[in-house]
Chain A
């Protein structure tokens, strides 16, 4: 173990309070003090009830008292020792009083046998008196004067992990590991049941049977269901899976099967059901799940199987599994005697077919935790992942298995080994899949790059009749796949008039995958003396689909919150390119365990939300779902009143009871929309209800006017708290209801697409650019280097939290002034997983008009300084 330390220092001058290097100061005694609540905390109580309740607390500074002794060779030396210490302590106080005059002074402490030192800023000090120089103990017979019981009192801050101003990176991640989808059979022969007793198959039957039929019926029944187009990548970890079935008849409990067994077809490409022999000839998975003691069933109600994650996992793990494949589940009798159950099949016209619900982790989509500036944050949340990446090699797009690079092992080349003009790499999202849609960014991780005497290309999208270049409306940080490392492209589709359209790639090219979707390509225009082609190295290309970064529990130690610092970079702006500068950054921190499925961004669309979130339009309203490619999901809610219209509910978001508790908390709520046709006299109001009925009193926003700026207005709906009291029962769902009215004869049309709930009950910040010039905006410089916003509560201890715009090339401040609205210094919560949610916006004309375009793309780096109440030990 290293030596103990107890010293006062400004980093240059250090005075030890324990014997060290021949210094004269000795520590007689010190009992380290602990921080307390200011004023004991704020309490509330009623004289008419027992006890009292703590409602708020903040920490005090800490007063430390050191009983010191100074022994020196002569009186001059002792005077010098005390002078040096006092000068340092005066500097400590001056640091707080002035703005630039002094450096901070701090305590550094480490006990004998303790691994790590700790640091605390000194705010003030006092030494009540010195020894009497004319008497003992100052005067000693041997001539070595002594200051005995010399009391030094310091007022300090919390113990910190580092010297004041210093920090360490926090590894953050931007990974959407859990995907949740529902899959269905899509044709009659996708589900069936067989009677093993009678060797019969019943493909077109409107019901699915399993178990053993009551006496006189068919025997030993088994159901098989083929679920279609599972876009689960090879290697994904299945977190949860179950089949949801709709009961097609009433059956009493006594007649229900006592046990069924669920398996899968161990085949990554199962065909439709045809004959009994086909059914029984299918190899089953080793993994199985028993389903015992099925309850009485009521016609029309749904029933879920037990978790069959292991069954699905076994199929997904097959070497030839490819994302988008089909998967068969069997439900067989398991010894039930004269008992059976009946569910609706695909052919049933009264009840819905079976659903396969799957939640899985898909590695490779996003960035695992890192300190590098590689963690991207979108200005929306979606589920439209890239489904296909294909290299076009002279008119041939990969043949057989492996054609889709997203199913290939990394690293892989994004162009042919010897590229020629018109070779290309295609990036697509299959829009026949659920929760698919357009995309506005792709993040690359290039090892090798496109290089040679001539190595050029263009980015293009399909616009209905031709491939069209998008150079004018995109930002390409890869500079034509010629820049190594993690970089993005951002695409700003004009939306109207219609530009990017879906296509069947095979139909358009005359070769390649017959997949209909949104396709974007990088096409080689010049390739001479090529020395290397772009290689995707550590992770697949991905679309940033989340507006948050995660911080793992082990990243922040300490006893209390850690001081924090964040760099927020703009990645989507390009000089003379898309006008995607940012003037406002809103951040909200939330413990992850308050709701792992909590999404601070809800798509106002009929897709791309958690399966327990349903967005619906009111049937009798002037609202309807509509499509347009420049919306984040490609879908939105069009409000088209056509004239004067009273305040009516136009759409609502239902958070299912299974998810509502994850939404408890305090939020600042925003709504994002686009003026589809110039808006005049439209107002909206958001209210909250529970399914118990009725608007929850008080929880509704003011009527707010919609504005008609060109882009994506951010409507500030204010603060709401969602508490258990709103629901009245945990069995009720939560409803966000949007009402709208039109006061003009020609009110225009509004397209609502996002509801943002920034959590504000732990730590939150709203940073705003108050300076009206181009250099003060969060953007990039003319060379393409990102400018970042430094949200800082560490580097300058005198500043609670400061927001400074800086150039990434040298870290120098940029002109302009950003103002931070925050109630607390930036911090991280200790020892818990946490998620920082982001919303960015651009000032649009008038100062209170904000544009929250979903195409704003940012990246984030974070730093921390842990804080402790006492000793650190080895933490």
Chain B
């Protein structure tokens, strides 16, 4: 590869949940960091900008922007949204966000309470109707928020809801001032991958009975209120682990997706869920072959494609794949069981930092977690 073409390119566009058609290439960004995870795919991306103009612009309108990062090869290496904008202006630090904490469609979850017998008797958990703020929705898209409270009557619960929506319909803003400080005007944009957009809405699934985990995942994605996820489910493999189809407890879509992934497959093998380009979801069993290799003794220390050694740029290494460490790392005999062979590592998280740093967090993978989750005792309720 030529030494010339080695810079990532960031393109910022209007929040996909709004009707804007704005887009701009952010050439001045520096100190880029991209994280990819086995659960989620595009996990996060941070970058910095300097200068008064950038600070004002991003602080004012940056939150929720659709962010794409492209490799020099014009391939997308991250897609997400601006979740937190933090600006430093002299001694003043202003933080706006997180975006995912905004709520403009809000309800209250509460328990009925009965005082008729003297002591309060708490009844079933209930939800108020949704309250919506259309002004905020036009600005940021429809973002759910469930406010949970203890026992109260419906009127009180609705009052809580109405107060809450007034407070969360706009992003949180915090400021700290240090009058001694005189830092350069700069802004840091912390972006999240669209896996985290699952935290902005709750599901309401009314189908009864049992269904495949993969079918329920599609239903969860279908419930996204802004229509920003791809409806191309061709990369959602069939996972026949059975789960309850109905889900009316206004749970976050993220929680349900995480639980569905934690179930694994019927063979108790681990599954991975990733958001890829154009917010399409990949849901599949973890791979059984290595994708990458790396030679500990090579001066270049690059990650290469397993088998051919073809170089993989550090910004393109995917999480959710097996990496094989070559060289002279014991054992020297080949093994088909990646779990027991220390030369193989399953990449849970891959973190790239400009210009050339790559940090990989690896793990083993067994069957026990999946089994426990399928028995309903693993901490996740699908």
Contact = CB atoms under 8 A, between A and B. Distances in A.
A679 to B, nearest CB: 12
A698 B299 contact: no
B297 A46 contact: yes
A549 B278 CA distance: 32
Interface string B271-307: 0000010100010000001111000111111101111
B311 A723 contact: yes
A579 interface: no
Given A697-B289, A718-B75, A53 B308 contact: no
B155 to A, nearest CB: 45
Interface stretch (A298-306, A321-329, A445-453, A766-774): A766-774
A864 to B, nearest CB: 15
B71 interface: yes
B310 A586 contact: no
Interface in A715-754: 718-719, 721-723, 725-726, 728, 743
Contacts of B73: 666-668, 719, 760-761, 764
B299 A44 contact: yes
Contact of A822 (B3, B25, B290, B306): B25
B70 A766 contact: yes
Contacts of A67: none
A698 B235 contact: no
Contacts of B377: none
A279 B13 CA distance: 75
Interface stretch (B4-12, B111-119, B262-270): B4-12
A697 B292 CA distance: 9
Interface stretch (B16-24, B40-48, B193-201): B16-24
A810 interface: no
Contacts of A58: 7, 355
A758 interface: yes
B299 A50 contact: yes
Interface in B290-346: 290-292, 296-302, 304-311, 316, 327
A824 B7 contact: yes
Nearest to A54: B3
Contacts of A728: 308
Contact of B299 (A42, A46, A817): A46
A764 B52 CA distance: 30
A56 interface: yes
Nearest to A816: B21
A573 B311 CA distance: 42
Interface in A442-487: none
B27 interface: yes
A800 B3 contact: no
B235 A696 contact: no
A817 B22 contact: yes
Interface string A809-847: 000000001011111100101000000000000000000
A758 B74 CA distance: 10
A45 interface: yes
Contact of A821 (B25, B301, B327): B25
B4 A763 contact: yes
B157 to A, nearest CB: 41
B232 A45 contact: no
A799 B26 CA distance: 10
Contacts of A829: 4
B356 A696 contact: no
B74 A766 contact: yes
Contact of A770 (B21, B298, B306): B21
A800 B278 contact: no
A763 B5 contact: yes
A702 B4 CA distance: 28
B2 interface: yes
A242 to B, nearest CB: 34
A50 to B, nearest CB: 7
A823 B308 contact: no
A49 B4 CA distance: 27
Interface of A: 42, 44-46, 48-53, 55-58, 97-99, 561, 586, 665-668, 683, 696-699, 702-703, 705, 718-719, 721-723, 725-726, 728, 743, 758, 760-766, 768, 770-772, 799-801, 817, 819-824, 827, 829, 848
Interface of B: 1-9, 11, 13, 21-25, 27-28, 51-53, 70-75, 232, 234-235, 276, 278, 282, 289-292, 296-302, 304-311, 316, 327, 355-356
8 contacts: A45-B299, A667-B73, A698-B292, A703-B235, A719-B71, A726-B310, A766-B70, A821-B25
Would you list the 8 A-B pairs with minimal beta carbon distance, nearest first?
Answer: A698-B305, A697-B307, A800-B27, A770-B23, A823-B7, A823-B72, A760-B73, A725-B308
Given A56-B3, A723-B311, A760-B5, 7 more contacts: A57-B3, A696-B305, A696-B310, A764-B72, A817-B24, A821-B11, A821-B74
